[in-house]
Amino acid sequence: MIRKDVASLRVPPNLADHDAERRTFTWAAARAHLDGLPGGGLNIAHEAVHRHAHGPLADHVAFRFLGGEAPRDVTYSELSSLSNRFACVLRGLGIGRGDRLFVLTGRIPELYTAVLGGLTNGTVVSPLFAAFGPEPIATRLTLGSAAVLVTTTSQYRRKIARIRADVPTLRHVLVVDDDGSGPIPGTLELGPVMAEASDDVALAATGPEEMALLHFTSGTTGRPKGAIHVHEAAVTHWSTGRFALDLHPDDVFWCTADPGWVTGTSYGIIAPLLHGVTSIVDAGDFDARRWYGVLAEHRVSVWYTAPTAIRMLMKAGPELAHAHSYPALRFIASVGEPLNPSAVWWGAEVLGLPIHDNYWQTETGGIMIANTPALDIKPGSMGKPLPGVEAAIVRRDANGEVRIVDAPDEEGILALRRGWPSMMRGYLDDEERYRACFAGDWYLTGDLATRDADGWFWFVGRADDVIKSAGHLIGPFEVESALMEHPAVAEAGVIGKPDELVGEVVKAFVLLREGFTPGEALRLEILAHARRRLGAAVAPKEVEFVDTLPRTRSGKIMRRLLKARELGLAEGDTSTLESGG
């Protein structure tokens, strides 16, 4: 246990007494910290940017972009103006409220302008991960009925050109020339159209329940699910920014997540802007030496990162960390996958600050369970439910009824009582899968966890076959489908193979078609095929040829059995494995 002494914290935390605040907190009171719009409306871009642009924060830096030749600071008033210009561009193209805007770029300023400009225009925004290959991109553009896409010339030439015809709803593509390759027929260059656009546009008077963001996530089977988030979600972003990330007005905040995943949007864009703080955006990939440099040089005070990154820093050795000092750093949080207790201690020893684990999902839109600054840390625990969040461990009884498990330390499904503002409002065009997530008032996360006698929650594992690699959620079905498009592959079963550094790596078991013989050349060819189609973020790292794949009686591949075999575990009672597959 790491004991906290609130009086000794350098900055008094926003949440001085976690349990006491939980008793008095109301979402209505949190909502009162936002402006809202006349007539009961709410618009995330107004709350995050435009209201600050006309107040004392107008000249405060909203984003410091790193990765170009020199850092580029964008103030709240500049960000507001750029977002308005982008909204004007959309309007000029006939893109309006409810239309779908997708963004596929690295972490460049245009991504942030497009997201905020889209929201300003009442357009639904869906950021995609730039390391996706053409196949996951095409799937998401299609499912989301993309009307407009913002991307770069290099992404366009490598991925979009070959799939564009498959997405008939896609009316416009705006490109940022990132490789000097010049105009591409059928696209508009973003720079020149932004230069011509006016920044005097009326904010879309969106309602709180109007769709704002679409985040795709993966399940065990079938196509990716588009989690629908509404403008009201900003209330959770505000309160979790306050309580779980402890944002204070002078903070320099660094969320290392990419906006192509939900953390990078909720906490890489919205929450810090709602609080009017300065955020660091680093376009580069992980690099231990550079990351320490960023923390020190830019005087990051609150840092939100992920277990894989922390493990990589641990591996790089303490000397690199000690090459700098971090007098501004006062709070470190982590999310997305289990955080090893040793990583919590490593933070305390090497950086002088323990790492605060927190838990949430694409579906929950914001942080639900957290180790907050004043709360003692039990390393290995995700913390306690935040103010406004009620969590429980539940199990289905013999009749299929969901029952709350009251006894401490009993494993069950982690459930959250509906009612927080950033809960998804549905899976796009998939009412059935959405409904299956609920039992009465309880949203079932699909994660297995325990709660101890003191009310701390502990992650046990996922109840399904979804893979978590470097914090990124990967659906095995999407990978299997891409593998099966290779002419040699008859069938494939894909699992997450435990890995010390990235949590799990994607491993595929492949059954070849008649006439193909296993061999190194074919293995490499299949790996390359998957990488081309799926992109580095999703493609398997390992392919193993097998003679048979274990199946249920109904023919479904039993991934859990593959995993048990991979781990050398007892295969257990296969009749129960059948229903889990």
Stretch in the footprint of ligand PRX (CB under 6 A) among 32-40, 58-66, 333-341, 403-411: 333-341
258 lines the binding site for ligand PRX (CB under 6 A): no
Total chain residues near ligand PRX (CB under 6 A): 21
- Distant-in-sequence, close-in-space partners of 432: CB < 8 Å, separation ≥ 6: none
447 lines the binding site for ligand PRX (CB under 6 A): yes
Token pair for 557: 């591949």
d(CA 545, CA 92): 53
Token pair for 34: 């936002």
Q: 263 vs 308, which CB is nearer to ligand PRX?
A: 263
Residue nearest to ligand PRX (CB): 362
569 φ, ψ (degrees, to nearest 5): -90, 165
**Based on the number of CB atoms within 10 Å of its own CB, is 17 exposed (0-12), middle (13-18) or buried (19 or more)?**
middle
Of the candidates 172, 231, 238, the residue with the CA atom closest to the CA atom of residue 207 = 231
CB of 216 to ligand PRX, least distance (A): 10
Binder to ligand PRX among 210, 258, 357, 478 (CB under 6 A)?
357
Binder to ligand PRX among 76, 326, 360, 545 (CB under 6 A)?
360
Stretch in the footprint of ligand PRX (CB under 6 A) among 151-159, 261-269, 292-300, 543-551: 261-269
Q: 390 vs 491, which CB is nearer to ligand PRX?
A: 390
Q: 366 vs 388, which CB is nearer to ligand PRX?
A: 366
Binder to ligand PRX among 263, 301, 450, 469 (CB under 6 A)?
263
134 lines the binding site for ligand PRX (CB under 6 A): no
335 lines the binding site for ligand PRX (CB under 6 A): yes
CB of 460 to ligand PRX, least distance (A): 9
Q: 121 vs 266, which CB is nearer to ligand PRX?
A: 266
- Distant-in-sequence, close-in-space partners of 296: CB < 8 Å, separation ≥ 6: 324, 325, 326
Stretch in the footprint of ligand PRX (CB under 6 A) among 12-20, 357-365, 533-541, 565-573: 357-365
Q: Where are the beta strands (DSSP E) in 76-179?
A: 100-104, 124-127, 148-152, 172-176
d(CA 531, CA 537): 9
336 lines the binding site for ligand PRX (CB under 6 A): yes
Stretch in the footprint of ligand PRX (CB under 6 A) among 53-61, 233-241, 354-362, 404-412: 354-362
Q: 105 vs 217, which CB is nearer to ligand PRX?
A: 217
382 lines the binding site for ligand PRX (CB under 6 A): yes
Calculate the alpha carbon distances from 493 to 190, 480, 498, 581 in Å.
Answer: 42, 6, 16, 11
459 lines the binding site for ligand PRX (CB under 6 A): yes
Which residues in the 495-534 window bind ligand PRX by CB under 6 A? none
Which 3 state secondary structure label does DSSP give 158? helix
Q: 137 vs 255, which CB is nearer to ligand PRX?
A: 255
280 lines the binding site for ligand PRX (CB under 6 A): no
Stretch in the footprint of ligand PRX (CB under 6 A) among 159-167, 247-255, 331-339, 391-399: 331-339
CB of 256 to ligand PRX, least distance (A): 13
Of the candidates 364, 411, 426, 409, the residue with the CA atom closest to the CA atom of residue 390 = 364
Q: 212 vs 467, which CB is nearer to ligand PRX?
A: 467
Please answer whether residues 495 and 567 qualify as being in contact, where contact means their C-beta atoms are separated by less than 8 angstroms: no
Which residues in the 74-103 window bind ligand PRX by CB under 6 A? none
Token pair for 62: 């909203």
d(CA 158, CA 519): 29
d(CA 288, CA 136): 29
CB of 542 to ligand PRX, least distance (A): 22
Binder to ligand PRX among 473, 479, 506, 537 (CB under 6 A)?
473
333 lines the binding site for ligand PRX (CB under 6 A): no
Binder to ligand PRX among 31, 425, 462, 551 (CB under 6 A)?
462
- Distant-in-sequence, close-in-space partners of 396: CB < 8 Å, separation ≥ 6: 402, 403
Please answer whether residues 271 and 222 qualify as being in contact, where contact means their C-beta atoms are separated by less than 8 angstroms: no
Binder to ligand PRX among 217, 239, 240, 265 (CB under 6 A)?
217
Calculate the alpha carbon distances from 103 to 79, 157, 230, 265, 413 in Å.
Answer: 17, 15, 18, 12, 34
- Distant-in-sequence, close-in-space partners of 371: CB < 8 Å, separation ≥ 6: 333, 356, 357, 358, 377, 381, 382, 383, 384
CA 451 to chain centroid, in Å, comes to 25
Of the candidates 290, 258, 260, the residue with the CA atom closest to the CA atom of residue 71 = 290
Q: 103 vs 355, which CB is nearer to ligand PRX?
A: 355
d(CA 379, CA 264): 25
262 lines the binding site for ligand PRX (CB under 6 A): yes
CB of 147 to ligand PRX, least distance (A): 25
337 lines the binding site for ligand PRX (CB under 6 A): yes
Stretch in the footprint of ligand PRX (CB under 6 A) among 57-65, 71-79, 255-263, 291-299: 255-263
Question: What are the residues binding ligand PRX (CB under 6 A)?
Answer: 217, 261-263, 335-338, 357-362, 382, 445, 447, 459, 462, 468, 473
